[in-house]
Amino acid sequence: MDSYFQSIAIMYKNIIRKTIKFCCQIMLLRVAIRSVTRFVLHRGNIPPWLDQMATTMSDIIPVDDVKWFKTILGSCKMVITVSPNEHGAVSKLYWKGSASLDKETIMIFQKFACFANVILDIGANWGYYTLLSRAFAPSAKIVTFEPHPFWYKKLNENISANRLKNVFSENIAIGKTVGTFSFYIDTKHPSASSMVKAYFRKDETPVESMTNVTTVDKYVLGNDSFAKIDLIKIDVETFEGDVLMGMKAVIERDHPDIICEVLPDEGLDYRNANRKVVHSIISEAGYFSYWISDHGLVQEDEIKGHFPFSNYLFTIKKIPRRGEEFFPLLGVAPS
């Protein structure tokens, strides 16, 4: 009997899918269905059954004609000049809003960005954290680095579309030495790229190109416009150790707060080596390491790396065991 009802449910789901696809062939219906689905998914506290139904519909509704869209980041309305088809994170942002994308990390990032005068976005991709930086810190100077040619173009399009001031983009990679080095781009997943060839699985075929590399120390020190670096975000796909090695002087001088992705080892030697380098640099600088989990900040004496919540907060600020006590220390009430 159970199998009978399951088959009936599958049949009705297929009918609904085909009906939606048929309706979406008509442009006006497609736009209307898409708008209603986005409206439902952007609302908070909707019943689980409605969320599941709208999410299922979002997987069916075509978005190939969506070249740009508006969304709310922080309290600012931003224009995103990336198609949902081009990037998985952008698709999630399009359908469900910023609350669905790095929610836990963004909460922490916002608390520090509010007090930052200079922010570095290393591994900016299409510019999500660059836009967030401007939303949270309207008067800050923001410098963003992205070596991938396509995403660097999209990054600049987002900066221009939102008329962001005092934001500077660099089409270079950040590492531990200055020069020209190999850079690897995944042809199957255009959003994925890394300075580390071992980052890619055996069934992936990254294209090797060359990119200019500099260090944070080289870029910042001696430049009068960088009196002090306050906040740094790093997302460089297992190249974090090299990035941090190239900013030791800035870390010693400025003690910037750092939001950094660190992936788990998963039995891979190069990831284990990278994680150890990150831990060594951070601990020697007197920083505390906090894993940004889905239930708050968790202090780790040894950086472990986690998935899917893979971001860390490195800071010289000692955060009390009860995370909510941390926010008053920054002068900000917990949200």
Judgement on whether residues 36 and 171 belong to the same structural domain of the protein: no
Return the pLDDT at 165.
94
Return the SS3 of 79: strand
Separation CA 246–CA 243 (nearest Å): 5
Which DSSP string do the residues of 136-180 spell out, in sequence order? H-TT-EEEEE---HHHHHHHHHHHHHTT-SSEEEE-SEE-SS-EE
Judgement on whether residues 134 and 243 belong to the same structural domain of the protein: yes
| CA 89 to centroid of chain Cα atoms | 8
Return the pLDDT at 99.
87
Judgement on whether residues 146 and 251 belong to the same structural domain of the protein: yes
The string of pLDDT tens digits covering residues 87-96 is 999 999 999 9
Return the pLDDT at 262.
96
* Domain at 104, CATH number: 3.40.50.150
Return the pLDDT at 281.
97
Domain that holds residue 238: 100-329
Looking at the domain assignment, is residue 79 inside a domain? no
Judgement on whether residues 209 and 265 belong to the same structural domain of the protein: yes
- Reference 212, options 145, 129, 142; nearest CA is 145
- Reference 194, options 150, 161, 157, 238; nearest CA is 238
**Number of independent structural domains in the chain:** 2
The string of pLDDT tens digits covering residues 35-53 is 999 999 998 788 998 898 8
Judgement on whether residues 166 and 311 belong to the same structural domain of the protein: yes
pTM here is 0.89
Separation CA 278–CA 292 (nearest Å): 16
Judgement on whether residues 18 and 135 belong to the same structural domain of the protein: no
Q: Which residues of the chain have pLDDT under 50?
A: 1, 5, 323-325, 327-335
Judgement on whether residues 165 and 228 belong to the same structural domain of the protein: yes
Judgement on whether residues 54 and 191 belong to the same structural domain of the protein: no
Looking at the domain assignment, is residue 91 inside a domain? no
Looking at the domain assignment, is residue 92 inside a domain? no
Check: CB of residue 154 under 8 Å from CB of residue 148: no
Q: Are strands 141-145 and 231-234 parallel, antiparallel or unpaired?
A: unpaired
Looking at the domain assignment, is residue 133 inside a domain? yes
Return the pLDDT at 2.
54
Judgement on whether residues 16 and 156 belong to the same structural domain of the protein: no
